[in-house]
Amino acid sequence: MRVAAVVFDCDGTLVDSEPLAWRSWERELRAHGYALTQADVESTRGRSYAEVHAHFAERIEGLPDAAAFWPRFSGTLFELLESELTPFEDAIATARQLDGRGIRIAIASSSPRERLDRTLRAAGLGELFDVTVAGDEVERGKPAPDLFLAAARRLGVPPED
Catalytic residue check, 146: no
Query: What is the number of residues in the chain?
Result: 161
DSSP E strands, the chain = 5-8, 104-108, 131-133
Catalytic residue check, 11: yes
Q: In what order do the strands lie in the sheet with 5-8?
A: 5-8, 104-108, 131-133
Count helices and strands in the chain by DSSP H and E runs: 7, 3
Catalytic annotation, pick one of 9, 99, 117, 130: 9
- The residues assigned a catalytic role are 9, 11
